[in-house]
Amino acid sequence: MKSLPRFVVAVILLAAPAAGRAQTVAELPDDKFKLLVEKTAAYTKALNAARVVQKSYDRYATWADIKTGPTGKEKTIDGVLDISGAAGEIADAGAKGPGMWPPLPNVDSAAQKLAQSAAALAPVVKSASEYYAQKKYKADAAKHGQELHAQMLPMFQQFFANELALRRELNVVLEDVERRNLAQIEKEHGKNYDWYLHSFLLAAKGLADLLPNHVDGAPIENARYRARFANLQAAYTEFAQYCQQHPAEAQKAVTTKSLDEFVAATRILRGILDAPKADHQVYVSKVNDLATKYDALMAQTTTAAR
């Protein structure tokens, strides 16, 4: 994928009337920082919901020719997943997020655009889901399937473009939030288990952000992947060494199984990217596997933190 540049997000420098100057995320009072975290969590939830749209498209692309559309004569016709629930979650974030403190002009705008594209896409996908579930393509020789295809494709592409835009803008804020969390942990407890875990998760997020958001997305740039993999490997090594040196602390905290599985998946994908002529289906399979492992990692560590 293309480089994800650091966008200028105006609200990361928040107005501080008393001081008459800008205020960074690191300088925010705890109550204001909590509000920022709550707002980013709402948008992160929307991006997680966008995964459902990705899976819907990916399923459709496994059996239908994306360039020409369905014929109704395919060996396997697996339909398309309904995305109504996911679209609702995205719409909720797009409606409520901009009104939450602090104002994040670039992020808020991107969230609203994502919500709009999801709202436009959802009813068309629902119609397609019902059309294939009821096997109506048999009666009209997939004529309506062709019509639905012509409607869905540009809407899917617009959705993925908006999803990428929101992810890019939000990542700038999340990076600063995570760095403040790291600094706070170190200040209060030193470099303990939580510090090394958060450091690893920050590196894991940086690598996961390179994954394409749908099966036909631009391929990952190998050099960029290798650089972020090196950061991940260094953080993983430090985390593992700390666990070995402090077994009691590591044992009472989160298990390392999901971390190990995620790192193993990153190594496999690195090998695929290094191959002179990697098979595209194998590449897609390993990208999906890595995304699944990342979701599992985040689910486990979030549950443990709670």
Flag whether 185 is in a domain: no
Same domain, 160 and 247: no
Same domain, 16 and 134: yes
Average pLDDT of span 72-86: 96
Flag whether 31 is in a domain: yes
Average pLDDT of span 111-127: 98
Q: How many CB atoms lie within 10 A of CB 23?
A: 18
Flag whether 183 is in a domain: no
Q: Looking at this protein, which amino acid is placed at residue 118?
A: A
Flag whether 18 is in a domain: yes
- 143, 175, 207 - which closes a domain: 175
Same domain, 162 and 195: no
Three-state SS for 14? strand
Instruction: Report CA Rg, the chain.
Output: 21
Average pLDDT of span 199-218: 91
Three-state SS for 16? strand
Q: How far is Cα of residue 132 from the mean position of the Cα atoms in its chain?
A: 28
Same domain, 227 and 275: yes
Same domain, 47 and 118: yes
* Mode of pairing for the β-strands spanning 14-16 and 21-23: antiparallel
As a whole number of angstroms, the distance between CA 155 and CA 149 comes to 10
Same domain, 18 and 116: yes
211-239 residue pLDDT tens: 998 888 889 999 999 999 999 999 999 99
As a whole number of angstroms, the distance between CA 297 and CA 257 comes to 9
Q: How many CB atoms lie within 10 A of CB 232?
A: 22
Same domain, 161 and 224: no
The whole-number pLDDT of residue 20 equals 42
Same domain, 61 and 152: yes
pLDDT category of residue 253 using cuts at 50, 70 and 90: low
Same domain, 99 and 200: no
- Domains identified in the chain, total number: 2
As a whole number of angstroms, the distance between CA 104 and CA 170 comes to 9
**Residue 192 pLDDT more than 60?**
yes
The whole-number pLDDT of residue 40 equals 95
> Residue 279 — φ and ψ, nearest 5°?
-65, 130
Same domain, 248 and 143: no
Flag whether 171 is in a domain: yes
Flag whether 180 is in a domain: no
Flag whether 181 is in a domain: no
268-304 residue pLDDT tens: 999 999 998 888 889 999 999 999 999 889 888 765 5
Same domain, 128 and 196: no
The whole-number pLDDT of residue 3 equals 30
As a whole number of angstroms, the distance between CA 15 and CA 221 comes to 38
**Residue 155 pLDDT more than 90?**
yes
Domain holding 28, by residue range, is 1-175
Same domain, 143 and 210: no
**Residue 8 pLDDT more than 50?**
no
pLDDT category of residue 7 using cuts at 50, 70 and 90: very low
- 116, 146, 175 - which closes a domain: 175
Flag whether 137 is in a domain: yes
**Residue 5 pLDDT more than 70?**
no
- 108, 140, 175 - which closes a domain: 175
Can you say whether the dihedral through the CA atoms of 69, 72, 77, 82 is positive or negative? positive
Least confident of 134-143, 165-174, 291-300: 291-300
Structure tokens at 107: 């992020």
Q: What is the DSSP string of 73-103?
A: --S--------HHHHHHHHHHHHHGGGSSSP
Q: How many CB atoms lie within 10 A of CB 82?
A: 18
The whole-number pLDDT of residue 281 equals 87
**Residue 11 pLDDT more than 50?**
no
